[in-house]
Structure 1
Amino acid sequence: MRIFAIGDIHGGLKALVQLLNKLQIKEEDHLIFMGDYVDGWSESAQVVQFLIELSEKFECIFIKGNHDVWCEEWLRDGDVNKVWYMHGGKETMESYEGFNDAQKAKHLAFFENLKMFHLDEENRLFLHAGFTSMHGVEKEVFKTTLYFDRTLWEMALTMDKRIEKNSELYPKRLTHYKEIYIGHTPTINYKRYEPMNAINVWNIDTGAAFFGPLSAINIDTKEVFQSDVVKDLYPDEMGRNRS
Protein backbone atom coordinates (compact mmCIF):
# COMPACT_ATOMS: atom_id res chain seq x y z
CA MET A 1 0.00 0.00 0.00
CA ARG A 2 1.24 3.45 -0.92
CA ILE A 3 0.05 6.63 0.79
CA PHE A 4 0.15 9.92 -1.08
CA ALA A 5 -0.40 13.41 0.30
CA ILE A 6 -1.72 15.71 -2.42
CA GLY A 7 -1.47 19.50 -2.31
CA ASP A 8 -3.95 22.31 -2.83
CA ILE A 9 -5.82 21.85 -6.14
CA HIS A 10 -7.68 25.19 -6.44
CA GLY A 11 -9.98 24.24 -9.30
CA GLY A 12 -7.26 22.78 -11.51
CA LEU A 13 -8.97 19.60 -12.66
CA LYS A 14 -6.61 19.14 -15.61
CA ALA A 15 -3.63 19.18 -13.26
CA LEU A 16 -5.31 16.74 -10.88
CA VAL A 17 -6.06 14.22 -13.64
CA GLN A 18 -2.52 14.57 -14.98
CA LEU A 19 -1.04 14.05 -11.50
CA LEU A 20 -3.16 10.98 -10.75
CA ASN A 21 -2.13 9.46 -14.07
CA LYS A 22 1.49 9.88 -13.04
CA LEU A 23 0.80 8.22 -9.69
CA GLN A 24 -0.74 5.22 -11.44
CA ILE A 25 -2.84 4.61 -8.34
CA LYS A 26 -3.87 1.09 -7.48
CA GLU A 27 -6.84 -0.18 -5.51
CA GLU A 28 -4.83 -0.58 -2.30
CA ASP A 29 -3.33 2.93 -2.38
CA HIS A 30 -4.51 5.69 -0.05
CA LEU A 31 -4.87 9.33 -1.10
CA ILE A 32 -4.83 12.16 1.44
CA PHE A 33 -5.91 15.51 0.03
CA MET A 34 -4.67 18.55 1.96
CA GLY A 35 -7.62 20.87 1.26
CA ASP A 36 -8.45 23.90 -0.90
CA TYR A 37 -10.14 22.02 -3.71
CA VAL A 38 -11.77 25.16 -5.10
CA ASP A 39 -11.01 28.79 -6.02
CA GLY A 40 -8.51 29.70 -8.69
CA TRP A 41 -8.92 27.93 -12.01
CA SER A 42 -12.23 27.50 -13.79
CA GLU A 43 -13.10 23.91 -12.82
CA SER A 44 -13.75 24.03 -9.08
CA ALA A 45 -17.18 22.39 -9.18
CA GLN A 46 -15.78 19.82 -11.58
CA VAL A 47 -12.91 19.07 -9.18
CA VAL A 48 -15.36 18.42 -6.36
CA GLN A 49 -17.46 16.15 -8.56
CA PHE A 50 -14.34 14.29 -9.66
CA LEU A 51 -13.19 13.79 -6.05
CA ILE A 52 -16.60 12.48 -4.99
CA GLU A 53 -16.48 9.91 -7.77
CA LEU A 54 -12.81 9.11 -7.06
CA SER A 55 -13.65 8.31 -3.42
CA GLU A 56 -16.12 5.68 -4.61
CA LYS A 57 -13.25 3.74 -6.19
CA PHE A 58 -10.26 4.47 -3.97
CA GLU A 59 -9.49 5.09 -0.30
CA CYS A 60 -9.50 8.88 0.03
CA ILE A 61 -9.19 11.22 2.99
CA PHE A 62 -10.23 14.82 2.43
CA ILE A 63 -8.96 17.60 4.70
CA LYS A 64 -10.84 20.92 4.94
CA GLY A 65 -9.12 24.10 3.74
CA ASN A 66 -10.10 27.73 4.24
CA HIS A 67 -11.35 28.08 0.65
CA ASP A 68 -13.52 25.02 1.16
CA VAL A 69 -15.12 26.67 4.19
CA TRP A 70 -16.09 29.71 2.12
CA CYS A 71 -17.52 27.58 -0.68
CA GLU A 72 -19.44 25.49 1.85
CA GLU A 73 -21.01 28.63 3.31
CA TRP A 74 -22.06 29.81 -0.14
CA LEU A 75 -23.57 26.45 -1.08
CA ARG A 76 -25.45 26.26 2.23
CA ASP A 77 -26.98 29.71 2.50
CA GLY A 78 -25.83 31.81 -0.44
CA ASP A 79 -23.39 33.80 1.70
CA VAL A 80 -20.72 35.38 -0.51
CA ASN A 81 -17.68 36.21 1.62
CA LYS A 82 -16.06 39.34 0.15
CA VAL A 83 -12.54 38.02 0.68
CA TRP A 84 -13.55 34.72 -0.90
CA TYR A 85 -15.08 36.45 -3.92
CA MET A 86 -11.82 38.33 -4.60
CA HIS A 87 -9.63 35.26 -4.11
CA GLY A 88 -11.19 32.74 -6.44
CA GLY A 89 -14.78 32.66 -5.24
CA LYS A 90 -16.06 34.40 -8.36
CA GLU A 91 -14.59 31.68 -10.57
CA THR A 92 -15.94 28.96 -8.29
CA MET A 93 -19.46 30.37 -8.43
CA GLU A 94 -19.25 30.51 -12.22
CA SER A 95 -18.07 26.89 -12.34
CA TYR A 96 -21.37 25.82 -10.75
CA GLU A 97 -23.40 27.07 -13.70
CA GLY A 98 -25.19 24.04 -15.08
CA PHE A 99 -25.17 22.15 -11.77
CA ASN A 100 -28.67 21.47 -10.48
CA ASP A 101 -29.86 21.70 -6.87
CA ALA A 102 -29.40 17.99 -6.23
CA GLN A 103 -25.80 18.10 -7.42
CA LYS A 104 -25.09 21.18 -5.32
CA ALA A 105 -26.59 19.45 -2.29
CA LYS A 106 -24.25 16.52 -2.81
CA HIS A 107 -21.30 18.89 -3.02
CA LEU A 108 -22.42 20.66 0.15
CA ALA A 109 -22.45 17.29 1.91
CA PHE A 110 -18.90 16.71 0.64
CA PHE A 111 -17.72 19.97 2.19
CA GLU A 112 -19.60 19.36 5.44
CA ASN A 113 -17.92 15.98 5.85
CA LEU A 114 -14.35 17.16 5.27
CA LYS A 115 -11.97 16.33 8.13
CA MET A 116 -10.29 19.07 10.12
CA PHE A 117 -7.25 16.84 10.47
CA HIS A 118 -6.19 13.23 10.10
CA LEU A 119 -3.83 11.30 12.38
CA ASP A 120 -2.67 7.94 11.09
CA GLU A 121 -1.51 4.81 12.90
CA GLU A 122 2.13 5.91 12.71
CA ASN A 123 1.37 9.23 14.43
CA ARG A 124 1.65 11.27 11.25
CA LEU A 125 -0.59 14.33 11.25
CA PHE A 126 -2.29 15.79 8.17
CA LEU A 127 -4.07 19.16 8.22
CA HIS A 128 -4.50 22.12 5.92
CA ALA A 129 -2.61 24.89 7.69
CA GLY A 130 -1.34 24.48 11.25
CA PHE A 131 -2.13 24.71 14.93
CA THR A 132 -0.91 26.78 17.85
CA SER A 133 -1.66 24.70 20.94
CA MET A 134 1.47 23.41 22.63
CA HIS A 135 -0.63 20.38 23.65
CA GLY A 136 -1.35 19.29 20.10
CA VAL A 137 -3.97 19.65 17.43
CA GLU A 138 -6.80 18.07 19.45
CA LYS A 139 -6.43 20.80 22.08
CA GLU A 140 -6.70 23.67 19.60
CA VAL A 141 -9.35 26.04 20.94
CA PHE A 142 -10.05 27.99 17.77
CA LYS A 143 -10.80 25.48 15.02
CA THR A 144 -10.35 28.11 12.29
CA THR A 145 -6.66 27.97 13.16
CA LEU A 146 -6.47 24.50 11.60
CA TYR A 147 -7.15 25.93 8.15
CA PHE A 148 -5.73 29.47 8.51
CA ASP A 149 -2.57 29.24 10.65
CA ARG A 150 0.82 29.89 9.08
CA THR A 151 2.88 30.15 12.26
CA LEU A 152 3.53 26.39 12.48
CA TRP A 153 5.25 26.45 9.08
CA GLU A 154 7.06 29.72 9.75
CA MET A 155 8.34 28.38 13.06
CA ALA A 156 9.57 25.16 11.49
CA LEU A 157 11.33 27.07 8.70
CA THR A 158 13.21 29.38 11.03
CA MET A 159 13.98 26.95 13.83
CA ASP A 160 17.62 26.54 14.83
CA LYS A 161 18.51 22.99 13.81
CA ARG A 162 20.99 22.74 16.69
CA ILE A 163 18.19 22.64 19.27
CA GLU A 164 17.74 19.03 20.38
CA LYS A 165 14.30 17.51 20.71
CA ASN A 166 14.65 16.96 24.47
CA SER A 167 15.66 20.58 25.03
CA GLU A 168 13.38 23.01 26.87
CA LEU A 169 13.77 25.28 23.85
CA TYR A 170 12.34 22.76 21.40
CA PRO A 171 8.81 23.84 20.32
CA LYS A 172 6.26 21.68 22.14
CA ARG A 173 3.98 21.72 19.10
CA LEU A 174 6.47 19.65 17.13
CA THR A 175 6.99 16.96 19.76
CA HIS A 176 3.56 15.32 19.50
CA TYR A 177 3.82 13.89 15.99
CA LYS A 178 6.26 11.85 13.98
CA GLU A 179 5.59 14.02 10.94
CA ILE A 180 3.20 16.84 10.07
CA TYR A 181 1.88 17.38 6.54
CA ILE A 182 0.31 20.70 5.54
CA GLY A 183 -0.75 22.80 2.57
CA HIS A 184 -2.03 26.40 2.61
CA THR A 185 1.28 28.31 2.28
CA PRO A 186 2.66 27.97 -1.27
CA THR A 187 6.28 26.91 -1.45
CA ILE A 188 6.68 29.23 -4.44
CA ASN A 189 6.70 32.04 -1.85
CA TYR A 190 10.20 30.73 -1.11
CA LYS A 191 11.09 30.18 -4.78
CA ARG A 192 10.69 26.44 -4.34
CA TYR A 193 8.56 24.42 -6.76
CA GLU A 194 8.59 21.09 -4.93
CA PRO A 195 7.29 20.13 -1.46
CA MET A 196 9.47 21.52 1.31
CA ASN A 197 10.58 19.94 4.56
CA ALA A 198 11.47 21.83 7.76
CA ILE A 199 12.16 19.84 10.96
CA ASN A 200 9.31 17.27 10.87
CA VAL A 201 6.88 19.43 8.86
CA TRP A 202 6.23 18.80 5.16
CA ASN A 203 4.54 21.49 3.05
CA ILE A 204 2.86 20.02 -0.05
CA ASP A 205 1.31 23.23 -1.47
CA THR A 206 3.53 24.07 -4.44
CA GLY A 207 1.45 26.97 -5.70
CA ALA A 208 -0.97 25.30 -8.11
CA ALA A 209 -3.30 28.28 -7.68
CA PHE A 210 -0.67 30.64 -9.02
CA PHE A 211 2.30 29.64 -11.20
CA GLY A 212 3.40 26.35 -9.67
CA PRO A 213 2.52 22.69 -10.29
CA LEU A 214 0.17 20.44 -8.36
CA SER A 215 2.21 18.03 -6.25
CA ALA A 216 1.90 14.71 -4.46
CA ILE A 217 4.39 13.00 -2.19
CA ASN A 218 4.70 9.35 -1.19
CA ILE A 219 4.89 9.84 2.56
CA ASP A 220 6.95 6.70 3.10
CA THR A 221 9.56 7.07 0.35
CA LYS A 222 9.29 10.88 -0.04
CA GLU A 223 9.16 10.47 -3.82
CA VAL A 224 7.53 13.54 -5.39
CA PHE A 225 5.16 13.56 -8.35
CA GLN A 226 4.00 16.73 -10.13
CA SER A 227 1.70 17.98 -12.83
CA ASP A 228 2.75 20.55 -15.37
CA VAL A 229 2.65 24.14 -14.18
CA VAL A 230 -1.09 24.59 -13.78
CA LYS A 231 -1.32 27.98 -15.47
CA ASP A 232 0.07 26.34 -18.63
CA LEU A 233 -2.91 23.97 -18.59
CA TYR A 234 -5.27 26.97 -18.46
CA PRO A 235 -3.50 29.42 -20.83
CA ASP A 236 -6.49 31.77 -21.15
CA GLU A 237 -7.03 32.19 -17.41
CA MET A 238 -5.38 34.15 -14.60
CA GLY A 239 -6.04 31.75 -11.72
CA ARG A 240 -5.24 33.64 -8.54
CA ASN A 241 -2.25 35.44 -10.08
CA ARG A 242 -4.27 38.65 -10.16
CA SER A 243 -4.60 38.76 -6.36
Structure 2
Amino acid sequence: MRTFAIGDIHGGLKALIQLLNKMEIKDEDRLIFMGDYVDGWSESAQTIQFLIELSQKINCIFIKGNHDVWCENWLRGEHVPPVWYIHGGKETMDSYAGFSEDKKKKHLAFFESMPLYYIDSENRLFIHAGFTSMHGVEKEVFKENFYFDRTLWEMALTMDNRIEKDSALYPNRLKHYSEIFIGHTPTINFNVNVPMQAANIWNIDTGAAFTGKLSGMNIDTKVFFQSDNLPALYPNEKGRNKN
Protein backbone atom coordinates (compact mmCIF):
# COMPACT_ATOMS: atom_id res chain seq x y z
CA MET A 1 0.00 0.00 0.00
CA ARG A 2 1.22 3.45 -0.90
CA THR A 3 0.18 6.49 1.15
CA PHE A 4 0.11 9.97 -0.33
CA ALA A 5 -0.29 13.31 1.43
CA ILE A 6 -2.11 15.77 -0.83
CA GLY A 7 -1.95 19.54 -0.43
CA ASP A 8 -4.61 22.24 -0.31
CA ILE A 9 -6.96 21.97 -3.32
CA HIS A 10 -9.00 25.19 -2.98
CA GLY A 11 -11.68 24.30 -5.50
CA GLY A 12 -9.22 23.30 -8.20
CA LEU A 13 -10.89 20.06 -9.27
CA LYS A 14 -9.06 19.99 -12.60
CA ALA A 15 -5.75 20.00 -10.77
CA LEU A 16 -6.88 17.21 -8.43
CA ILE A 17 -7.94 14.94 -11.28
CA GLN A 18 -4.71 15.66 -13.12
CA LEU A 19 -2.67 14.91 -9.99
CA LEU A 20 -4.45 11.62 -9.25
CA ASN A 21 -3.83 10.51 -12.84
CA LYS A 22 -0.13 11.35 -12.55
CA MET A 23 0.14 9.39 -9.31
CA GLU A 24 -1.58 6.42 -10.99
CA ILE A 25 -3.67 5.77 -7.90
CA LYS A 26 -4.59 2.14 -7.22
CA ASP A 27 -7.46 0.73 -5.16
CA GLU A 28 -5.10 -0.37 -2.39
CA ASP A 29 -3.49 3.08 -1.99
CA ARG A 30 -4.35 5.51 0.81
CA LEU A 31 -4.79 9.27 0.36
CA ILE A 32 -4.43 11.74 3.23
CA PHE A 33 -5.72 15.17 2.27
CA MET A 34 -4.29 18.09 4.21
CA GLY A 35 -7.42 20.28 4.18
CA ASP A 36 -8.77 23.41 2.45
CA TYR A 37 -10.79 21.71 -0.26
CA VAL A 38 -12.80 24.83 -1.04
CA ASP A 39 -12.41 28.58 -1.65
CA GLY A 40 -10.38 29.77 -4.58
CA TRP A 41 -11.20 28.35 -7.98
CA SER A 42 -14.72 27.87 -9.34
CA GLU A 43 -15.25 24.17 -8.57
CA SER A 44 -15.42 23.97 -4.76
CA ALA A 45 -18.78 22.22 -4.52
CA GLN A 46 -17.79 19.94 -7.39
CA THR A 47 -14.52 19.12 -5.60
CA ILE A 48 -16.39 18.08 -2.46
CA GLN A 49 -18.74 15.91 -4.50
CA PHE A 50 -15.77 14.29 -6.24
CA LEU A 51 -14.02 13.60 -2.92
CA ILE A 52 -17.14 12.03 -1.42
CA GLU A 53 -17.39 9.69 -4.40
CA LEU A 54 -13.63 9.00 -4.36
CA SER A 55 -13.80 7.96 -0.71
CA GLN A 56 -16.30 5.26 -1.64
CA LYS A 57 -13.69 3.62 -3.86
CA ILE A 58 -10.40 4.18 -2.07
CA ASN A 59 -9.14 4.70 1.49
CA CYS A 60 -9.17 8.45 2.12
CA ILE A 61 -8.58 10.60 5.20
CA PHE A 62 -9.75 14.21 4.99
CA ILE A 63 -8.14 16.59 7.48
CA LYS A 64 -10.19 19.73 8.15
CA GLY A 65 -8.75 23.14 7.19
CA ASN A 66 -9.81 26.66 8.11
CA HIS A 67 -11.62 27.21 4.80
CA ASP A 68 -13.51 23.98 5.37
CA VAL A 69 -14.64 25.25 8.77
CA TRP A 70 -16.01 28.43 7.17
CA CYS A 71 -17.81 26.49 4.43
CA GLU A 72 -19.21 24.02 6.97
CA ASN A 73 -20.61 26.89 9.06
CA TRP A 74 -22.23 28.44 5.98
CA LEU A 75 -23.80 25.15 4.94
CA ARG A 76 -25.18 24.89 8.48
CA GLY A 77 -26.84 28.28 8.01
CA GLU A 78 -24.54 30.33 10.21
CA HIS A 79 -23.35 33.90 9.63
CA VAL A 80 -20.96 34.46 6.71
CA PRO A 81 -17.87 36.29 8.04
CA PRO A 82 -16.46 38.96 5.70
CA VAL A 83 -12.98 37.42 5.93
CA TRP A 84 -14.32 34.21 4.39
CA TYR A 85 -16.41 35.97 1.75
CA ILE A 86 -13.46 37.93 0.37
CA HIS A 87 -10.99 35.03 0.56
CA GLY A 88 -12.81 32.55 -1.62
CA GLY A 89 -16.15 32.23 0.12
CA LYS A 90 -18.05 34.02 -2.63
CA GLU A 91 -16.71 31.64 -5.26
CA THR A 92 -17.61 28.66 -3.10
CA MET A 93 -21.13 29.92 -2.52
CA ASP A 94 -21.51 30.48 -6.27
CA SER A 95 -20.32 26.92 -6.99
CA TYR A 96 -23.26 25.54 -4.98
CA ALA A 97 -25.82 27.29 -7.19
CA GLY A 98 -26.93 24.09 -8.93
CA PHE A 99 -26.84 21.81 -5.89
CA SER A 100 -29.99 20.57 -4.22
CA GLU A 101 -30.65 21.00 -0.51
CA ASP A 102 -30.24 17.25 -0.09
CA LYS A 103 -26.75 17.33 -1.63
CA LYS A 104 -25.81 20.32 0.50
CA LYS A 105 -26.82 18.36 3.60
CA LYS A 106 -24.61 15.48 2.48
CA HIS A 107 -21.72 17.90 1.98
CA LEU A 108 -22.33 19.36 5.45
CA ALA A 109 -22.16 15.86 6.93
CA PHE A 110 -18.92 15.29 5.02
CA PHE A 111 -17.37 18.43 6.53
CA GLU A 112 -18.62 17.51 9.99
CA SER A 113 -16.98 14.07 9.77
CA MET A 114 -13.49 15.46 9.05
CA PRO A 115 -10.88 14.97 11.79
CA LEU A 116 -8.72 17.89 12.88
CA TYR A 117 -5.60 15.70 12.75
CA TYR A 118 -4.53 12.12 12.14
CA ILE A 119 -1.66 10.08 13.61
CA ASP A 120 -0.68 6.93 11.75
CA SER A 121 0.81 3.68 13.03
CA GLU A 122 4.34 5.04 12.57
CA ASN A 123 3.61 8.11 14.72
CA ARG A 124 3.44 10.50 11.78
CA LEU A 125 1.14 13.46 12.38
CA PHE A 126 -1.04 14.92 9.63
CA ILE A 127 -2.57 18.31 10.44
CA HIS A 128 -3.70 21.26 8.37
CA ALA A 129 -1.77 24.05 10.06
CA GLY A 130 -0.09 23.29 13.38
CA PHE A 131 -0.37 23.29 17.15
CA THR A 132 1.18 25.25 20.03
CA SER A 133 1.27 22.86 22.99
CA MET A 134 4.74 21.58 23.85
CA HIS A 135 2.97 18.38 24.98
CA GLY A 136 1.51 17.56 21.55
CA VAL A 137 -1.85 17.79 19.84
CA GLU A 138 -3.72 15.89 22.54
CA LYS A 139 -2.93 18.66 25.03
CA GLU A 140 -3.80 21.58 22.71
CA VAL A 141 -6.19 23.96 24.50
CA PHE A 142 -7.32 26.00 21.52
CA LYS A 143 -8.43 23.58 18.79
CA GLU A 144 -8.54 26.46 16.26
CA ASN A 145 -4.75 26.25 16.21
CA PHE A 146 -5.04 22.96 14.33
CA TYR A 147 -6.28 24.85 11.27
CA PHE A 148 -4.91 28.39 11.83
CA ASP A 149 -1.49 28.12 13.50
CA ARG A 150 1.59 29.05 11.49
CA THR A 151 4.10 29.19 14.37
CA LEU A 152 4.95 25.48 14.12
CA TRP A 153 6.14 25.89 10.54
CA GLU A 154 7.79 29.26 11.25
CA MET A 155 9.72 27.73 14.14
CA ALA A 156 10.92 24.82 12.00
CA LEU A 157 12.10 27.19 9.28
CA THR A 158 14.38 29.02 11.73
CA MET A 159 16.04 25.88 13.07
CA ASP A 160 19.66 24.98 12.46
CA ASN A 161 19.51 21.69 10.58
CA ARG A 162 22.57 20.45 12.46
CA ILE A 163 20.54 20.11 15.67
CA GLU A 164 19.76 16.45 16.31
CA LYS A 165 16.31 15.34 17.45
CA ASP A 166 17.66 13.96 20.74
CA SER A 167 19.31 17.28 21.56
CA ALA A 168 18.00 19.50 24.34
CA LEU A 169 17.94 22.28 21.74
CA TYR A 170 15.41 20.45 19.57
CA PRO A 171 11.91 21.92 20.19
CA ASN A 172 9.69 19.76 22.37
CA ARG A 173 6.75 20.34 20.02
CA LEU A 174 8.56 18.44 17.29
CA LYS A 175 9.81 15.53 19.40
CA HIS A 176 6.37 13.96 19.82
CA TYR A 177 6.11 12.73 16.21
CA SER A 178 8.44 10.97 13.82
CA GLU A 179 7.29 13.32 11.06
CA ILE A 180 4.67 16.03 10.68
CA PHE A 181 2.84 16.77 7.43
CA ILE A 182 1.05 20.11 7.02
CA GLY A 183 -0.62 22.41 4.50
CA HIS A 184 -2.01 25.91 5.12
CA THR A 185 1.12 28.02 4.45
CA PRO A 186 1.96 28.00 0.72
CA THR A 187 5.56 27.19 -0.12
CA ILE A 188 5.40 29.80 -2.88
CA ASN A 189 5.50 32.38 -0.04
CA PHE A 190 9.16 31.35 0.19
CA ASN A 191 9.73 31.27 -3.58
CA VAL A 192 9.59 27.46 -3.57
CA ASN A 193 7.13 25.66 -5.86
CA VAL A 194 7.63 22.11 -4.53
CA PRO A 195 6.99 20.54 -1.09
CA MET A 196 9.35 21.86 1.56
CA GLN A 197 11.03 20.20 4.52
CA ALA A 198 12.10 21.98 7.71
CA ALA A 199 13.26 19.86 10.66
CA ASN A 200 10.87 16.88 10.68
CA ILE A 201 8.00 18.81 9.06
CA TRP A 202 6.90 18.46 5.44
CA ASN A 203 4.80 21.27 3.97
CA ILE A 204 2.70 19.96 1.07
CA ASP A 205 0.82 23.19 0.24
CA THR A 206 2.50 24.42 -2.94
CA GLY A 207 0.14 27.31 -3.61
CA ALA A 208 -2.71 25.79 -5.62
CA ALA A 209 -5.00 28.56 -4.37
CA PHE A 210 -2.84 31.14 -6.11
CA THR A 211 -0.24 30.73 -8.87
CA GLY A 212 1.19 27.41 -7.72
CA LYS A 213 0.51 23.74 -8.28
CA LEU A 214 -1.33 20.99 -6.41
CA SER A 215 1.10 18.45 -4.96
CA GLY A 216 0.89 14.86 -3.73
CA MET A 217 3.77 13.19 -1.90
CA ASN A 218 4.46 9.53 -1.17
CA ILE A 219 5.07 9.80 2.57
CA ASP A 220 7.50 6.88 2.63
CA THR A 221 9.69 7.60 -0.38
CA LYS A 222 9.13 11.39 -0.48
CA VAL A 223 8.63 11.17 -4.23
CA PHE A 224 6.09 13.82 -5.21
CA PHE A 225 3.84 14.59 -8.15
CA GLN A 226 2.34 17.91 -9.22
CA SER A 227 -0.43 19.30 -11.36
CA ASP A 228 0.06 22.15 -13.77
CA ASN A 229 -0.04 25.65 -12.35
CA LEU A 230 -3.64 26.37 -11.42
CA PRO A 231 -3.98 29.60 -13.47
CA ALA A 232 -3.16 27.54 -16.57
CA LEU A 233 -6.00 25.15 -15.72
CA TYR A 234 -8.43 27.99 -15.01
CA PRO A 235 -7.27 30.69 -17.47
CA ASN A 236 -10.42 32.79 -17.14
CA GLU A 237 -10.31 33.02 -13.35
CA LYS A 238 -8.23 34.91 -10.83
CA GLY A 239 -7.97 32.40 -7.97
CA ARG A 240 -8.04 33.52 -4.38
CA ASN A 241 -6.74 36.64 -2.69
CA LYS A 242 -3.60 35.74 -0.79
CA ASN A 243 -4.19 34.85 2.89
Fold agreement, TM-score > 0.5: yes
Give yes or no for contact 1:180–1:201 (8 Å, CA) kept in 2: yes
Give yes or no for contact 2:10–2:40 (8 Å, CA) kept in 1: yes
What is residue 86 of structure 1 aligned with on the other side?
86
Q: Supply the AA of the counterpart residue of 1:38.
A: V
> RMSD in angstroms over aligned alpha carbons?
1.0
What is residue 170 of structure 1 aligned with on the other side?
170
Question: 5+ residue gaps in structure 2?
Answer: none
What is residue 21 of structure 1 aligned with on the other side?
21
Q: Residues 58-105 of structure 1, C-alpha deviation per residue, up to 9 Å, x if partnerless?
A: 000000000000000000014211100010000000000010100000
Runs of 4+ in 1 over 4 A off after TM superposition: none
Q: Partners in 2 of 1:58 and 1:242 — Cα distance? A: 32
What is residue 110 of structure 1 aligned with on the other side?
110
Q: Partners in 2 of 1:165 and 1:7 — Cα distance? A: 26
What is residue 30 of structure 2 aligned with on the other side?
30
1:12 and 2:12 correspond: yes
Give yes or no for contact 2:88–2:241 (8 Å, CA) kept in 1: no
**How far did residue 160 of structure 1 move?**
1.6
Q: Residues 17-50 of structure 1, C-alpha deviation per residue, up to 9 Å, x if partnerless?
A: 0000111111110000000000000000000000
Percent identity between the two aligned chains: 73
Q: Partners in 1 of 2:192 and 2:117 — Cα distance? A: 25
1:208 and 2:235 correspond: no
What is residue 235 of structure 2 aligned with on the other side?
235
Question: 5+ residue gaps in structure 1?
Answer: none
Q: Residues 201-233 of structure 1, C-alpha deviation per residue, up to 9 Å, x if partnerless?
A: 000000000000000000011001000001110
Q: Partners in 2 of 1:125 and 1:169 — Cα distance? A: 21
TM-score by length of 1: 0.98
Q: Residues 112-149 of structure 1, C-alpha deviation per residue, up to 9 Å, x if partnerless?
A: 00110000000000000000100001111100000000
1:70 and 2:70 correspond: yes
**How far did residue 242 of structure 1 move?**
6.8
Give yes or no for contact 2:209–2:230 (8 Å, CA) kept in 1: yes
TM-score by length of 2: 0.98
Give yes or no for contact 1:211–1:241 (8 Å, CA) kept in 2: no
**How far did residue 241 of structure 1 move?**
4.4
**How far did residue 152 of structure 1 move?**
0.5
Q: Partners in 2 of 1:203 and 1:164 — Cα distance? A: 20
What is residue 125 of structure 1 aligned with on the other side?
125
Aligned pair count reads 243
Q: Partners in 2 of 1:105 and 1:128 — Cα distance? A: 24
Q: Partners in 1 of 2:169 and 2:237 — Cα distance? A: 47
Q: Partners in 1 of 2:73 and 2:117 — Cα distance? A: 19
**How far did residue 165 of structure 1 move?**
2.2
Q: Partners in 2 of 1:200 and 1:37 — Cα distance? A: 25
